[in-house]
Amino acid sequence: MSVRLARQAGVSVLVIAVIAVIAVSAATGAGGSANLRVTAKTQTTVSLAWNSFGRENYVLHFWKDGNWVRVTLPRTQTSYTWTGLLPNVQYSFWVKSGTSASNLVNATTDPDRTPPSAPGNLRVSSSTASSISLAWDASTDDTGIAEYLVSVSPNAGNLIWTGPTSATLVGLAPQTEYTFTVKARDLGYNFSPLSNAASATTEASTDTTPPTAPTSLRVSDEDGCGEVDVRWTQSTDDQDPQSAIRYRILINGGPDPVGFEPIGTGRAITYGVEDGVNTFVVVAIDSAGNVSSPSNSFPITLNIC
């Protein structure tokens, strides 16, 4: 998804780049004689070839994520294979020698429709009163694993994406049983079946001291249609690290209707609840369930679309 969005965002830049290539080609007459062409492609590679032209080393240009990536090749080389690409994505290429430029070539990598295998042997490696660490065996896939999604039940706001085959979930309640599953995502955005489920109970806690109150609360209107960016200075706690402290957003004295409680961060995107003045307050909650004093209040006038 991020790659597709990046391509959309770079359309105008790509058009400019294409115009520049066409202008150079027209001036030198190299575009047609170079005959840059795609000779093969897979889900993650594109192979190119061209006729010898120009008098200097070749510089092959590759349009990726809003930028031209370049590789310099000797005059004796008239082919190249780009690797490490994403499936079902269009890429653009052109090659230059001195002031002479080839034609522009677009190529779309083959789609990936095969999901990864399920992660194996999900297991609990350690636990505390507020955290549980997990590990699992890697999934296999024909294009490669992009990341893993760890899910927890009951939902504690701890859905996390991770690259390694291990993860630690923080901000959990003490003496509570949690059940976890993991699934893999490949480079083609296919999801694997779920792993086996693994359960663990957090340890008891004697913590009775709440975190400090969040400070410097500020709220800004993101899109003029009720969406807001809420920021604050994070709390501290006598036992939990800041990464384990949960935050609850209150709007006009009631709970945030989105229901998401961020952990270990000083920022959240949420929405107002009514046209007119919406007053925001944030409280911090440690892993033992102790609730801090409220932050400063922040009123803001919103137009709910």
What are 168-212's pLDDT values in tens digits?
Answer: 887 788 899 999 999 999 988 999 999 999 999 999 888 899 999
Domain identity same for 75 and 49: yes
Provide, rounded to the nearest whole percent, the portion of the chain with pLDDT above 90.
62
Residue 19: what pLDDT? 37
Given a cut of 80, is residue 217 above it in pLDDT? yes
Domain identity same for 104 and 33: yes
Domain identity same for 82 and 20: yes
Residue 113 included in any domain: no
Under the banding of pLDDT at 50, 70 and 90, the label for residue 8 is very low
Residue 210 included in any domain: no
Q: Which of 174, 201, 228 is the last residue of a domain?
A: 201
Domain identity same for 127 and 104: no
Question: What is the pLDDT averaged over residues 71-99?
Answer: 94
Residue 26: what pLDDT? 37
Domain identity same for 130 and 172: yes
| Total count of domains within the chain | 3
Q: Which of 108, 138, 158 is the last residue of a domain?
A: 108
Under the banding of pLDDT at 50, 70 and 90, the label for residue 18 is very low
Domain identity same for 55 and 75: yes
Residue 57 included in any domain: yes
Q: What is the pTM of this model?
A: 0.64
21-33: per-residue pLDDT in tens? 443 443 344 667 8
Residue 115 included in any domain: no
Q: Which of 108, 132, 152 is the last residue of a domain?
A: 108
Residue 254 included in any domain: yes
Domain containing residue 20: CATH number: 2.60.40.10
Identify the residue whose tokens are 């995502």: 185
Q: What residues make up the domain containing 49?
A: 2-108
Domain identity same for 124 and 93: no
Q: Using only C-alpha atoms, what is the Rg of the chain?
A: 26
